[in-house]
Amino acid sequence: MLSVKNSVLVVIDMQEKLSRAMHDRENLVTNAVKIIHGAKVLGLPVIWTEQNPRGLGSTLPEIREHIPADSEPIIKLSFSCCAEPAFLDKLNATGRKQALVLGIESHVCVCQAILDLLDMGYETHIICDAVASRTPENKLIGIERSKQAGAIITSAEMALFELLKVAEGDKFKQILKIVK
């Protein structure tokens, strides 16, 4: 099970221009905001990337507003964020071994990052309602490939309640507002 003390959220390439081409963009953004906002409430570290921001734009404002203000994106050209030393430095600095992954595109950058994270020994969860590709087929292929490699399939709401463990307290009330 996911643990607040052992989890890190990895947000991959949730960028303006790139997101416009995604199938079911509205659900992607809605669920990504839920999990990112929830991670903030629960105190999870968030590591986020931008693929070639000069060409694909910056991170969506509705995503960015829930990421800590003092945090900067890892800029990358490689498909897997794990090929970027700055990403690995941030990831290793968390000391956590459970990676929750969301972003764009399911069958390229998300899948390649998941394969690398699994190879490095991370328990890796793909947040299926917070990943997308340009076509629904490619989204499903990316999820299936990640699953075959050992990733755990989850959703934004499922992950948040798994991290909470109990239906009580201030954090529960805040998460409830996020998912409704």
Residue 1 in domain: no
Residue 164 in domain: yes
Q: Is the pLDDT confidence value at 143 over 90?
A: yes
Tokens of 162: 């798994």
User: What's residue 69's pLDDT?
Assistant: 78
pTM for the full model?
0.96
The domain in which residue 161 lies consists of: 7-179
> What CATH code is carried by the domain that includes residue 44?
3.40.50.850
Active-site annotation holds for 128: no
Residue 19 in domain: yes
Give the 3-state secondary structure of the chain. CCCCCCEEEEEECCEHHHHHCCCCHHHHHHHHHHHHHHHHHHCCCEEEEEECHHHHCCECHHHHCCCCCCCCCEEECCCCHHHCHHHHHHHHHHCCCEEEEEEECHHHHHHHHHHHHHHCCCEEEEEEEEEECCCHHHHHHHHHHHHHHCCEEECHHHHHHHHHCCCCHHHHHHHHHHHC
Residue 74 in domain: yes
Residue 138 in domain: yes
Active-site annotation holds for 97: no
How many independent structural domains does the chain possess?
1
Residue 26 in domain: yes
Active-site annotation holds for 147: no
Residue 151 in domain: yes
Residue 36 in domain: yes
Choose the catalytic residue: 13, 81, 90, 128. 13
User: What's residue 70's pLDDT?
Assistant: 80
Choose the catalytic residue: 109, 111, 116, 129. 109
User: What's residue 71's pLDDT?
Assistant: 87
